[in-house]
Structure formats: structure tokens, C-alpha cells
Structure 1
């Protein structure tokens, strides 16, 4: 009997793998050992490894029937963002299944994909099935922070695990956005990520003269920092239409029944507005962004601090990294200094490729009405760790459309949940894709 991925998802949620950032975490080891045990019993030669005992990942290579074919990587992270139980209607780590939903922190980000991938491997072992090509699966730690204990560490310290791999799939993409066309018909749009904005996290530091709050000083660190952050935070970044985003807008608007005028900024903005929910993704991927997020200064109201610091989250589009950095430096000015906290370049992978067509084919076999389009993600995933190995990375963690209209809710928020039917149907799509790709 096939393994139920919904049951696996609920069981995985019961491992509290909260990642608090800055190296603070409950750890992924218990969840990793649970997965390792299941894989070992099924006959796989999986390995448990990580830079610290509590920060563990699991990697397994499933040998394909044709060694001449390039390999494929499937990656899914075990860690989750923290939850505030007092705000939830139930225990966020109970893995509750109710009213057609799986509830719990990580249900949709992304223990659903962990469960679907694990179910596929267990189903293969039970049926004696081998894929056409080598499939490397990595259940990784630390995606919800910098990846230093997970994907980045694996890629740097154990690149041999990914030898022969040409492409990878991970979060996020492959599930439907339901839209209404101009003629009133329903459009089921399935975006697949073929790009990600780059992540540039910097710390800005202003130094001045400390003193009594009642006596102005010649160089005020707090004031200089605020001025610099005002410039960088309020800057209007120019519109840049990358090839992936252009195709996303063109193909989506065509499916909705109208033609987009992408010859001007106004035309692009009008097309994005007319795309409805699908325009949300495009809206954050036609521009770079620079957002101050953390401030540190002072310890007492009547003391002027000599140092003030802030962290800024910068996201840059493919092909814009150098210009983005130069613009940020100019905006910040010479009254502050900067250091990099994290620097991961943008990711872009070919859309006109057999990999993309294989994903499209798997979706169409399970939903003949699917409209499959490429997209660029506004945020980032572990793809940024694997892309430097020469791997083409895509966001493809397929989910089925719930027949009763349920949808994913509460990701990184309260009462996170995912429809049972979405996980069960998504696993069938994933298994179909991985078996035949």
C-alpha cells in the first residue's frame, strides 16, 4: 500500500525544529534521525551529517537505471520558523489533522515537501522501482536562517555528494493560483520558479561622539544612521524586466485573455495590476529592494550613544547585482560603514529546457487544464547554495488543488495549515515526475 504523505507530514510537524536565527535553533537532528531510520529500513544507503551534532541533514542517492543521464537533486528543509503557541488555536507542533487540513508549524513550509519526497522514496523501495536517472535527495537543516548549518555547509564541505547532478528542484512552485479570465472562465496557473532575487544582507554602522543627552554633540551617530537609512529605505528602484519575469507576465496575461503592453513602465505596472493575485509575485520581482529591518543604538534616554547600527535586507534581480551594490553605497554615503552579513547572488535557470518541460508535463498529466509559467521568486531558498555547483535550480514542490476549495494558510504566521488533498495529490505529481524525468 502506498505511503500516505499527509500522515508523514503530520508526524514530521511533531518534531519541533524551530530555527531562531543567528545560530540559535532547537536543531534538526531528531527529525533527521527519524527520516534516516525510515530510509535505512527501506534499504537506502542514506547518510546523516552536519557541522554540529544537533544541526543534521540527511542525504541519499537513488541510483538510476541509466548512468549516462545527468542526475537530479531534490532538496527540502527540515527546520521551521518559530511559532507563538499563545496565538494559535491548537498546539503548533501537534501535527493535528482536522477538517481536511494538516495543521502545524511547517505544514506548508516545508514539511509537506519533505513528506511527499520521503513517501516517494518509500513507495519506490516497496515496489522495487528505480528512476531513470540518479536522484539525489537532501533533507537539509538551517534554510530558515543563512544555511551555514545546512545547504551552504553541504555544498562547501561535501560537493562530492552532488557529483553528476545537472538540475535541482525545491521550494517553491508547482501549485495552482486560481484566477478569473476576461471571459469569466477559471484559469489554474501553475508557476515554476526559474529564478530568485539575490540576497544581500548588510550591517550599517555609524560612529559619533557620545555625551549627555541635553548637550548636542558635533557628530551624532544615531542621526547619521537615521539619515542614511532614510535615503536607502525610501529609494525608488528602477523597473527592470528580466527574461523570466517578462515571460511570466506575457504568458499569464495571455492565459487571462488580454495582451500586456510591456514597452513602458506604465504598461508593465498596468499589466501587473490586471493580473490580480498572480500580479503579487511579479510586483516584487520587477524591482530591487532595500529595507532597513533591525536597529541598535543607545542604552539610556539621557545618554547620546557613540555607535549606532542597523541591518538592511537588500534583494537584487538577476543581472543587477553590481549596480545594486553601487547604488546602495551611494545612498548610504560616507558617514557610515558597511559589512556583509550574507551575500548570495541571484539565481536564474533556463526555461527552454528539458527539465522545465518535464515539470510542465507532470503537471499537465494530473491537471490537463494547467497553465504552467516560469516565475522569479522575490525571496530566496537553498537554491542559492546549490547553484554555484553548476546546478540549474528550479522551484517545484507540486501541490494538488483541493476539490473543496481549501488553500494553504498561515505560512510563517498563525495556524499554519495545508489541505490534506493538496499533499496527497502533490505527492502523486512529484512521484510521476521523479520516476520518469
Structure 2
């Protein structure tokens, strides 16, 4: 089998509806996993399919390198996608249609594009009789779009031996084009590579009070207690907390853009972000922690004051600030409100100045000589949170060229998700170069 067109592979993967509804409910990744396994087998690599429960399928394989003394590299990519409402889309989300230079569909950038890119590289190597320098561990996983209990986190708990000797990992959300201009108005193309990500601490807040009739005075109303606590939490201005990754981003991007970088105070950091223009989006969500109310639950009848009111808070925490954040949350909640963790996955932080990062930067510059590669911290989370506790340095590197005006941030989980065909082809060449030389 020769090298297939990466856009065709991406479109075929999109046509498998692998919607993850959350809470263990999913359409299942099985058919997409079997598709991937078939391509691994066709390129001479023996796939292993692992499931915690039927249809929640993970595919793993190990590709031997030419130098067995080097620590292996893990490449992880997820097969599941978030739900999509067909009525909202120009093109049905699971049609996998190629139109106007784009592959359309749910998962196009999150992250069936990377799955297709990786499979295309393997086909190229098979055709040309090539091998990587170091062993590669490939993991196409389930359940990333929920909590990983059927995917990466389950694999780490039940099949940890598969990752024991891995030195570093690459996954989603990094190596894509960000178009901006420097201080003189000249175009600059930044390529952020993730070397860190904020931790995910989903909190359940519970306020208790005295149940009663809605027409009567009640100074122990659980709903009011909870609303007051949420108001304090939602309107709190969290202080700037600069991690090594974010500092490095400001310094390197600022130099490339010819801009003054002042990180001496919270106001100075905010002013620096404003000077960065479009590039500010890379860092604006990761100079601070965040606490965002997302779910409220209380009562069952309008004339009954409930005895319990609850809220869920999406909390994101930067490396090195976990205890400080929780202490301040407790202060803001005040008496009468308790908190507990629904999920608590710590932040991820890898070394910026490492041979891994250098190899990624070199691969990008080889394909785009004007690329300026900068580290960044992801505001959300990935399956890196499962692998980092094993001592693996985790990076976000799924290379992708993007045209000017294409807002990558709006694609993931968004309506009319799509990926440029030329961007996919660029990604194949970058990933091939990186995996061949690192």
C-alpha cells in the first residue's frame, strides 16, 4: 500500500461517529480503532486493541527504532469527539466532506487530523523502507473528551508497562500557525509548542440551609448562600502567576515581534498582553488561574425554599500555585459552603530548553523557514495529564499550517469544524522530519 492522501484519511476518520457524551456514555471508538489498526497492520506494525468495556477501544503499537539505547517517544492521539448538532452545521458533521480546500467535520482539528497525519507518515516510511532513530510508542486512545477513564488514565493504571521506558511524549494542541505582525507592521508567523498545561480541578460546591415556604422570611436560604459565594468567586480577579513556560513565551515572542515586555507587576503583564495583538491569545488564559461557574442545581418547586443548593466550578490551576489557589477559594466561599473535588488532575510542565523542543522547532523551521517557534502553556487539558505522572516530559505538538484569518481556537468543539488540506500536508512533512530525526 502506497502513501494515501492525508486529507482522505482524515475524512474517513471523521465519518466514524465517535461522539463522547460524557459520564461513560459514548457511541464508542471501536470502528475508528479498527480502521487505525488496519492501517498499522498494512504498514508492518502489529496493533494491540485494549478495552475497559466493549466498544471503548484503544489502539497501541511500538515501532522499533535504529538505536535501542535511546528512550522511546510516545505519540498519543484520541479517537473520540465531542457532540455536534447537525442542524447548526453547513455540512453534516460526520460526512467527512472535502470542500473548498478543507476537510469538514467533527474532529477535523480535535484531533482526527493528527491521527491521519501520523498514519500517513507511517505509510511513507513503509513505502520508502525507513525507520525512526528511537522506538516510538503509538497510542490512539478513547475517552479524552471526558475524563480518560476508558482511555489514557485507564491505560496508565492497567497497562503501565507499555510506557515504562518512555522519555517524552507529544500530543495535541501545538505546532500550528499563528499569524501576527511585528512592531513595524511586518508579518510574523508564530508556531506555539505546548510545554505546559494548567491543571483541572472541577469542584462541587454545596450550601445547606433551612428548607421552608417561599413566601416566608428565611435567613438560612441555601440558594442565597450559594449565590453569594459564587458571586465572590466569579468576580475575583486572580493575581498573575507566571510559570517558566509563560515567561519564556513572553520573552521569545516579544523579541520576535520587537515589542517591549514588562512582567514586573500584574498591570504590566496585562499591558504587555495588549501590545501583543493577535499573539496575546496564546497566553492570555494562562497568566492567571481561573474559577468559572458552569452548573447550578437547587430546588424543585418555585414556592419551596430548598435545604440544599449546589454548583459546579471549572477550576484551572497553573503549575506551582495549587495550594495558594485552594486556600483563596475557601476564603471566598465563606461559611456555609463546602467544596469537594469532582476531578483533580494536576498541572503539566516540561522543560522548555530541551533536545525535544529543539527538534520540534527545527522540524517546523525546515518546512517554514520564517517560523518563529515559541513555548506556551495550554489553558485547558489533554491526556498529557495521564502520562506526565509517569515521569514523561509531555509536549503539545500536532503540526499544522493554518492560513491567515483562520481561527484555530474556534474550530475545536465549534460549529463547522474544519482543517485546511494544505495544512494537513504540511503537518505530515513536519511530523515526518521530527520523528525521523529526534
User: What band does the TM-score fall into relative to the shorter chain?
Assistant: over 0.9
Counterpart residue number, 1:3: 4
Name the CA distance, whole Å, in 1 between partners of 2:282 and 2:101: 27
Counterpart residue number, 1:109: 110
Counterpart residue number, 1:184: 185
Q: Is the Cα–Cα contact under 8 Å of residues 178 and 402 in structure 2 kept in the other structure?
A: no
- Secondary structure, counterpart of 1:283 in structure 2: coil
- Secondary structure, counterpart of 2:52 in structure 1: strand
Superposition pairs of residues 211-250 of structure 1, within 5 angstroms? 211-250=212-251
Superposition pairs of residues 122-137 of structure 1, within 5 angstroms? 122-137=123-138
1:320 equivalenced with 2:316 (yes/no): no
Counterpart residue number, 1:32: 33
The answer to which of 387-396 and 47-56 deviates more is 47-56
CA RMSD of aligned residues (A): 1.4
Tell me the matched-pair count.
436
Counterpart residue number, 1:305: 306
Counterpart residue number, 2:170: 169
1:75 equivalenced with 2:76 (yes/no): yes
CA-CA distance at 1:156 after TM superposition: 1.2
1:335 equivalenced with 2:336 (yes/no): yes
Counterpart residue number, 2:24: 23
Structure 1 outlier segments of 4+, above 4 Å: 404-409
Counterpart residue number, 1:94: 95
Superposition pairs of residues 143-292 of structure 1, within 5 angstroms? 143-292=144-293
Residues 410 and 400 of structure 1, relative CA distance in 2, 3 Å threshold: closer
- Structure 1 residues without counterparts, runs of 5 or longer: none
CA-CA distance at 1:50 after TM superposition: 2.1
Q: Is the Cα–Cα contact under 8 Å of residues 224 and 336 in structure 1 kept in the other structure?
A: yes
Counterpart residue number, 2:295: 294
CA-CA distance at 1:239 after TM superposition: 0.8
The answer to which of 388-397 and 142-151 deviates more is 142-151
CA-CA distance at 1:333 after TM superposition: 2.0
- Secondary structure, counterpart of 2:37 in structure 1: helix
What do the CA deviations read for 1:110-167 (whole angstroms, capped 9, x no partner)? 1100110121122222332211101001111111111111111111111111121110
- Secondary structure, counterpart of 2:287 in structure 1: coil
Name the CA distance, whole Å, in 1 between partners of 2:266 and 2:45: 53
CA-CA distance at 1:259 after TM superposition: 2.4
Counterpart residue number, 1:121: 122
Name the CA distance, whole Å, in 2 between partners of 1:225 and 1:333: 10
Name the CA distance, whole Å, in 2 between partners of 1:150 and 1:333: 37
- Structure 2 residues without counterparts, runs of 5 or longer: none
TM-score by length of 1: 0.97
- Secondary structure, counterpart of 1:52 in structure 2: coil
Name the CA distance, whole Å, in 1 between partners of 2:343 and 2:216: 38
TM-score by length of 2: 0.97
What do the CA deviations read for 1:33-85 (whole angstroms, capped 9, x no partner)? 11112212332111111211121111111011111001100011111110011
Counterpart residue number, 1:398: 399
What do the CA deviations read for 1:246-268 (whole angstroms, capped 9, x no partner)? 11011111111122122222221
CA-CA distance at 1:191 after TM superposition: 0.7
What do the CA deviations read for 1:247-297 (whole angstroms, capped 9, x no partner)? 101111111112212222222111111111111221111111111110111
Q: Is the Cα–Cα contact under 8 Å of residues 19 and 26 in structure 1 kept in the other structure?
A: yes
Counterpart residue number, 2:85: 84
Name the CA distance, whole Å, in 1 between partners of 2:4 and 2:339: 51
Residues 308 and 52 of structure 1, relative CA distance in 2, 3 Å threshold: same
Counterpart residue number, 2:66: 65
